[in-house]
Amino acid sequence: MERIVILDFGAQYNQLIARRVREQGVYSELLPPMSSVERIRGEALSGVILSGSPDSVYAEDGRRCLPEVFSLGVPVLGICYGMQLMTHMLGGTVEKAPVREYAGVTAHFGSSPLFDGMPDSTVWMSHNDMVTRVPEGFAAAAHTADCPIAAMQDESRRLYAVQFHPEVAHTEYCAKFFENFVHGICGCAGGWSPEGLVSELVDDIRARVGERKVVAGLSGGVDSSVAAALVSRAIGDRLTCIFVDHGLLRKNEADEVMHFYRENMGLNVIEVDAREYFLTQLAGVTEPERKRKIIGESFVRVFEREAKKIGGAELLLQGTIYPDVIESGTGGASVIKSHHNVGGLPEKFGFELLEPLRPFFKDEVRAIGEALGMPKELVWRQPFPGPGLGIRVLGEITEEKLTILRESDWILRDEIKKAGLDRAVWQYFTVFTGMRSVGVMGDSRTYDYTIAVRAVVSTDAMTVEFAELPHKLLRRISNRIIAEVPHVNRVVYDITDKPPGTIEWE
């Protein structure tokens, strides 16, 4: 099997590199940076990629790899920190950059198999340090206005490196770059697919679970649904799904989700009404991280209670995907926000976790769902976070605020669907901001709440851009929310990308 190893130095986008390789039909695997040569080689090795990192190569605690990595006989690609580390370990010079680049910049490419078919174009930069002298045997292969050595190569040893991030969608020729490396330089033929992956995942689940029972936390979203379908195929009726109505769902969501699971997927699902329990736990809480952790722990406690009723399941199935993991600060990356199913879990609980989708992105999860034969309506369902509306009400959560939020969100979803944009827009929702402002309604002064509308486009949730919705549609959404939802007199539209923002507000 063709296989490319990514050595993970703790970058936010390290799994995105793996995803780009898999898009080229080649299996990829992330390994710790100091992995042994034997583990890196494995049964087959076609190439190695060194990821980015928040570290500096000249810091004492900067992460390293074994020097043997550069003499394995396969191509090696360094990305950002990976380029700086390659330079540092092979005798070049890395220094503080006089101008810190952070954004899309124009790169000018020289002659290199990395850049075949790529004209000068926009790349995504994010760095404080830069290479000022390449190691012996290397030549510069690209530059930008503020980075004279934006890429380098030693073709005789098949060592390549770029200062920019080719893995993010902001790099204009992202797919072409990885086609050049994976197929052109590493010589891979491709052929790895989601259909083949399903068989591997099902076999792995069977081996992991054995004869034990599993409970699944179903949220109604794509990730937990695909995870449940996978495990159901692997172990059959030893899977019991639990759908928790935590009082933070969208309008009519509980009824819709339960009907869909039972009628369309044939899953054994138990519905638990825990609205009072969750809202009591969240009473008076305003800090976003604390909200997420309370919600995460409350879910686990409900699952523990229900597992005892059905005969003591030992494993808890979660639909955790890679963006959840990386934003929660695992693997050496910085904490952005603790997802309820990762950083929000309590330290001690009575389950072994089963998370078969943990290495994958949302679009890959959808591909797995389609390969499983799941209904397209569920596979392409609007993403909805496990903490639900709890992270879309800024500040303290109350029933009044949730009602306002549910009604405004219902209107937004209705208008997006009527406009035929429900598949074109990645995610869309409203936010109860807690802000109040003066308005005029019916010739009288009002002092009521502001609702924010958030709509984004993305493929993987790691980077997103705000959706440029038609102005007439935005006007209809605003007019309906103000006319139909009590205590709202202003609607604003969030035009922030990720980064620097995140998809959710909390």
Taking only the tens place, the pLDDT of each residue in 234-247 is: 999 899 998 989 99
**Angle separating helix axes 194-209 and 362-371, nearest 10 degrees:** 90
Give the C-alpha separation, 252 to 210, whole Å: 37
Nearest to 171 by CA among 226, 137, 126: 126
Domains 3-185 and 194-379 share a fold: yes
- At 195, give phi and psi (nearest 5°): -60, -45
On average, the pLDDT of the chain sits at 88
pTM summary value = 0.61
Helical H segments across 66-150, by residue range: 81-89
* Residues 6+ away with beta carbon under 8 Å from 323: 361, 362, 460, 461, 462
CB 269 within 8 A of CB 239: no
pLDDT higher than threshold 50 for residue 330: no
Mean pLDDT within 139-160: 97
pLDDT higher than threshold 70 for residue 480: yes
Q: Give domain 3-185's CATH number out of 3.40.50.880, 3.30.1490.100, 3.30.390.10, 3.40.50.720.
A: 3.40.50.880
Highest mean pLDDT among 6-20, 181-195, 262-276, 353-367: 181-195
Give the C-alpha separation, 317 to 232, whole Å: 11
CB 139 within 8 A of CB 187: no
**What percent of the chain lies above the pLDDT cut of 90?**
57
The ranges assigned to domains in the chain are 3-185, 194-379, 392-493
pLDDT of residue 27: 85
Give the C-alpha separation, 501 to 463, whole Å: 10
Domain spanning 392-493, CATH class:
alpha beta
Q: SS3 helix, strand, coil % of the chain, rounded to 5?
A: 35, 25, 40
Secondary structure class of 350 (helix, strand, coil): coil
Which neighbouring-strand residues pair with 440? 445
- At 249, give phi and psi (nearest 5°): -90, 165
Secondary structure class of 386 (helix, strand, coil): coil
Its sign, for the CA torsion 444, 448, 450, 451, is negative
CB 324 within 8 A of CB 386: no
The CA-atom distances, in angstroms, between 84 and each of 55, 119, 135, 298 are: 10, 24, 11, 44
Pairing label, strands 159-162, 151-154: antiparallel
- Which single residue is written with the structure tokens 């309506």? 377
pLDDT higher than threshold 50 for residue 346: yes
Catalytic positions are 80, 165, 167
CB 4 within 8 A of CB 186: yes
pLDDT higher than threshold 70 for residue 395: yes
Give the pLDDT band (50/70/90) at residue 261. confident
Mean pLDDT within 447-451: 96
**What is the per-residue pLDDT across 349-388, written as a single tens digit (0 to 9) for each?**
678 889 999 878 777 888 899 888 888 877 887 778 878 8
CA 246 distance to own-chain centroid: 24
Which neighbouring-strand residues pair with 447? 438
Give the C-alpha separation, 419 to 473, whole Å: 8
Mean pLDDT within 461-470: 84
Burial label, 324 (beta-carbon count in 10 A; 0-12, 13-18, 19+)? buried
* Residues 6+ away with beta carbon under 8 Å from 38: none
Rg (CA), the chain: 24
Give the C-alpha separation, 310 to 269, whole Å: 12
Give the C-alpha separation, 262 to 270, whole Å: 10
pLDDT of residue 460: 63
Fold classification of 194-379 (topology level) = Rossmann fold (3.40.50)
* Of 385 and 214, more confident: 214
**Angle separating helix axes 194-209 and 222-235, nearest 10 degrees:** 60
Secondary structure class of 321 (helix, strand, coil): coil
